Structure 1
């Protein structure tokens, strides 16, 4: 199942795309937005696989908004202006749909997303972290723990820290549970990096990670059998 959102300042365009989404049993629309900035909160708290994103909007151009979304979120640009196609593909968009959009063309674009997500889930041992305008490809095994601070998260790795605009909840849903676990409302840890438990704190690379009461028994049973 793929989660998507639709961002377009034209109501009719949003309605058309939503009707196409509703025809597919593997695609779920989590929201429709006229103003792209209103979608940022949802992107921070939900795991969104694909955004249908209009390019020419009065509040913020889609090509500029695309730089703000999590790196793992696929983008399909939609526009009535063919001259924007190059901008879209330079931002590594999965596809570019020229209005008026037919269902057949829509389905082709969605199937591209579906195939890339399946490949990523089956073969990837890395995560791509978007920090500002930079992209960092980090191996799961190099992540020690992740700490949430307001609207941002910080990845603590073998090679230093990386800050990203993302919620801990969406990360928890995207990271493999065989390697990572939530231990606190502000922390996700790499199970393999834990070297001890002191009181209510896990020890990772000489750093103490607090464990919430609600997670404590599960942490002990999982990591210290």
Structure 2
């Protein structure tokens, strides 16, 4: 699990850690120039975080619908196989898709007792904390993706009663294969329902952690460029 394969001519650790750190140093050095240069990218990323938040809300609605479906099935003396597993998958998707958006809205718990000691050290302590968080989140995202890959390699399947249509697996598998293989993949796809492969419910975890890592690096650069935190939580009275 310690391999760092080259990606586009550079080791993966350079792309994940060195280049973002250099961008953060550039923002600290240039300040207003970095703000002017990166503002369009920041606006695009904000839309991406908001879209992930909307998707998380949609999965919350899915949880509600599954609960209602279970109630109706119980009242009707019917079975709803896999409903518990589907609800668990939806809950995990809600949690991970909401991570980045919650961060940008100041919804995560932040222990700020040291930040509030004085205004001189507040900026540097916040920057160091954000940098450590960015490194940690990047490692989390990398190994979440490796977990996805290992689950697919082992063909790990759920032990519950949940099933998914085979075409759904083919649809998601398209993103991991070249377009030249798409026709062959769909030709082999049947209409059966199969036990859920573990990598499918793990996808929201991988996507959510990647978005969280991007968001922390993003707001670290904003902090360094603006010289103050751009994460503003809602004031509750």
Is the shorter-chain TM-score for this pair beyond 0.5, marking a shared fold?
no
Query: Whose RCO is larger (CA < 8 A, sep 6+)?
Result: 2
TM-score if structure 1 supplies the norm length? 0.27
Task: Give the structure with the larger strand fraction.
Answer: 1
Task: Give the structure with the larger helix fraction.
Answer: 2
Larger Cα-atom Rg: 2
